[in-house]
Amino acid sequence: QAQVVESGGGLVQPGGSLELSCKPSLYTSRMSTMGWFRQAPGKKRELVATIVRGETIYGDSVKGRFTISGDNAKNTVKLQMNSLKPEDTAVYYCNLIGGFGSIWGRGTQVTVSS
């Protein structure tokens, strides 16, 4: 069964940048959906950014600051996060949909603090 392999995350100061990356543990010829969600303490999980059949969608709170990119040949999706704010602090989850179905990563912590 395929699993999601996530990397990146950590502690960064306000205004800084981080890059998250994820890929499935098993190769698939094509993923129809590649996305990132996040969940802060006491809040519901929310969309950060996703690529659905080639269309890119961003959550309102990250537009203009975050960029998602997907490479089907490498089975990798990246999330470049710039101008980070304390309110971006959350656990970030990768979601991939492909021949293996829909799978979620375990989450990676992003903390924005001075």
46 vs 25, residue with greater confidence: 46
pLDDT of residue 106: 96
The rounded distance, in Å, linking the Cα atoms of 32 and 99 is 9
pLDDT of residue 98: 86
Reported confidence tier of residue 21, pLDDT bands at 50, 70, 90: very high
Residue written as tokens 């950014």? Answer: 49
Mean pLDDT on 13-38? 91
